[in-house]
Structure formats: C-alpha cells, structure tokens
Amino acid sequence: MTVKTAVIGLGFIGMVHIEALKRLNGVEVVAVMGSTAEKTKRKAKELGISKCFSDYLTLLKDPDIEAVHICTPNHMHYEMAKKALLAGKHVICEKPLTISIEEAEDLNKLATSSELIHAVCFNIRYYPMLQQLKEMIRQGELGRIYAVNGSYLQDWLLFDSDYNWRVESAYSGKSRAVADVGSHWMDLLESVTGLGITEVMADFSTVHKTRKKPLEAAETYAAIVNSEASRYQEVPIDTEDYANILFRMGNGVRGSFTVSQVHAGRKNRLYIEIAGTRQSASFDSEHPNYLWIGNRDGNNQVMIKDTSLLHPEARRYADYPGGHNEGYPDTFKQLFKDIYHAMASNEYRDGISYPSFTDGLREQTLCESINKSQHERKWIAVL
C-alpha cells in the first residue's frame, strides 16, 4: 500500500520533508502548497510532483490525499492541523505544535479521540547514537542518572541585520529560542532518560532589542542580509535570543541547559551530557556518529556508529554500516519510516513509537512554564 501525502509550506523544512519522503517506500508526495501559486508551481515541477494547490482548504478536500505535512510558520500550525484532522487526514506537524497551550490542548484532544495518525517532528530523537544512549540508560549501563547538562546553540541570528519571521512573537509564539530549539532539547532529554522535567527556573536575554527587518521577507537560513545594501525597517524585538534554564526532574535528577541563536560559530549544535553513578555519556549533533562515554576507573571511550555493534533497539534506526555516516536528513527519514509504518499497519492503535501531538502538548507546557519562570523570576512547577 502506498500512502498519498501532501506537503504544505515549501521553505527550509518543507524541502527536507519532501527529500526524506522520496527516500521511503510506501509513501508518495502527490501534492504541494507554498505561499504563492507561482512558487508552488515552480517547486512542484522541479520535484516532479503532480498537484499544486493555492489554498489548503481546497487541498484538504482532495480525496486522494490521505496525510498532510504542515511545514509553515508556527502560528499557522493550529488552524491547519485542526482542519486537516477534521477533514480525516493523518497529520505530521512541524514543531512547536502550536503557539499556545490552549491550542495544543485542543489539538491533542481532537487527535487522540480520532483514529488518525498525529505526529510532531521531534526528529533529533532519531539519531542512531541517541537511540543507543536511550537503550544504554534503559538497561542501567550508566547506573542511576543524577545530573544532565547541555545546550542548543546556533549563530544564524547573531547580527542585528539577521531577520526571520521567528523573531516576531506573532508568528513564533511568546518564546523564540526556547520554543524553536529548546523544545528539541527537552523532548530529547525526556525521551532518552524516560524521566519528566518537574520544575524550571529561567533567565532570558534579548541581545538585539531592535533588528533590521528587510522590506522583502527571506526564507530560513537564506544568505545573510546585508543591511547596508538592502532596504529595511528598524523594529523592536519581543522574543529571546538566549536563555539559561535550570531544571529538576523525577528521581531527584538536577540539570541545566542553554539555548542561543546568537552564538558565533555554533551553526546548529545540540549537546547533551548525562551523568550516572557508573558512567557518563555525551552527544554532539555536529558529530552525530559518535557517543562519548566517561569512566572514573578506566579510560574514557568514544563509540563510533557501527550498525552491527548497536543495541538491537537502536540498530533499527541505522540504515548504513559502520564508517558510513548518517546525519540530519536521515533523522527525518527514520522518523517518517516509523510514522508511515504505523499508518500502514494500524499499529498506532496499540502504542506510539514516534512523537505525537501529546508530546507536542508536553513541549508547549514546558515552554509556557519556562516563560512564566522568566516573567515571575522564580522556580515554576511544571503541571
């Protein structure tokens, strides 16, 4: 059986979705929709995709389309996902699921009471070495986990002439760096340790209080805008560039992480380090085929991804043999493989292996608790 799917939003991540889907069996991208008819037509032609739509409500009426990928800016996710579920389509939505907790609760309620697949693209979980780490923790190899630290650092918004829809809260939601990349870090943390964050204490900083907004919008990661040459308007910024979060988890685990979109030289670096009573372990997404293992009473180790040496639970997410690197695009392929397998086999009724709208709601809850802590300048219990 081949599931016919559509992708809405043809910017940076929409193209990543299409490329990953084209690498899979059992799914075919039959339709696309971008923000303008001309762009949609051009991209559909380049990609060999037959149907183009210029409004998503018409797309959702197409009986051929069984699933939709929502790859538009954050503020559009809620309406698009809701209408898609109501039209009986499976929904694969980009993170963050919504820009408010009320929207996330509403979507989660609708999705979980349906027979439809609902997924949120927390793709980071799908690096094979992180699946390996998860299994090592589950099997007690690190001992009792007691502390975690890490960061998610980027530099693409370092200059005040760097601009993207994300810097405006109307499009990204109240928080930017935390919701945009911190949500990935927290989803990974909870998924890899199997423990929940129970309390948070946050400190935000907006490094650029104003930015130069180009009069013509640019896509994510488009070439850096030259403020001297381009036409722009100076606008106030109401979202954070940088944040530090202290947190507590179940089982007395303590931790902290930093997120930044203004950290020169760190292009897109997720780092996590987990300390246990027997060993510690760390992962750096800019070197994703390695896992560092720290020992107190022996030499430290660096484990290289070798499919034959991974725990079986992690091996299913590594498609290439040792020495053949797997990276960011492969995480989407592995995530979609899980989702479309569930769709084809109806296994989703028996339990979910991929991040669902419930995980999307969880991240929204964590982000709102972090925002509250920033505003009230105190520890906040995560409900």
Ligand X SMILES: NC(=O)c1ccc[n+]([C@@H]2O[C@H](COP(=O)([O-])OP(=O)(O)OC[C@H]3O[C@@H](n4cnc5c(N)ncnc54)[C@H](O)[C@@H]3O)[C@@H](O)[C@H]2O)c1
Given the rule CB under 6 A, which residues bind ligand X? Answer: 8-14, 33-35, 71-74, 76, 94-95, 121, 123, 165, 180, 219-220
Which residues, 6+ apart, have CB-to-CB distance to 237 below 8 Å?
167, 206, 208, 209, 210, 211
Which residue number, 218 or 344, has a Cβ lying nearer to ligand X? 218
Q: What is the rounded CA–CA span in Å between residue 347 and residue 377?
A: 44
Residue 162 CB neighbour total at 10 angstroms: 19
**In terms of DSSP bridges, do strands 51-52 and 27-33 run parallel, antiparallel, or are they unpaired?**
parallel
Nearer to ligand X, 217 or 304 (CB): 217
Computed over its alpha carbons, how large is the radius of gyration of the chain? 21
Q: CB of residue 283 vs ligand X: minimum separation in angstroms?
A: 16
Give least dist CB 274 to ligand X, A.
Answer: 22
CA angle (44 as vertex; 40, 46 as ends), nearest 5: 120
Q: Which residues contact 44 (CB under 8 A, 6 or more apart)?
A: 32, 50, 51, 52
For residue 322, the minimal CB distance to ligand X (Å) is 26
Give me the helix-helix angle, 12-22 and 328-345, nearest 10°.
60
User: Smallest distance from the beta carbon of 198 to ligand X, in angstroms?
Assistant: 26
| CB nearer to ligand X: pick between 7 and 314 | 7
Q: 95 vs 136, which CB is nearer to ligand X? A: 95
Contacts of 242 (CB under 8 A, 6+ apart): 177, 204, 205, 206, 207, 258, 259, 260, 261, 262, 263
Q: Which C-beta is closer to ligand X: that of 183 or that of 206?
A: 183
Residue at 215: amino acid letter: L
Closer residue to ligand X, CB minimum distance, 33 or 237: 33
Which residue, 78 or 232, is less far from ligand X as judged by CB? 78
In whole angstroms, the minimum distance from the beta carbon of 271 to ligand X comes to 16
Q: List the Cα angle 263/269/270 in 5-degree steps.
A: 120
Sign, CA torsion 356/362/366/368:
positive
Output the residue with the shortest Cβ distance to ligand X.
Answer: 11
Instruction: State which H helix or E strand residue 375 sits in.
Output: helix 357-376
Comparing CB distances to ligand X, the nearer of 20 and 117 is 20
Q: Is 68 helix (H, G, I), strand (E, B) or coil?
A: strand
Residue 270: CB minimum distance to ligand X, A: 10
Minimum gap (Å) between residue 109 Cβ and ligand X: 21
What are the beta bridge partners of residue 203?
Answer: 244
Q: How far is the CB of 216 from ligand X (least distance, A)?
A: 12
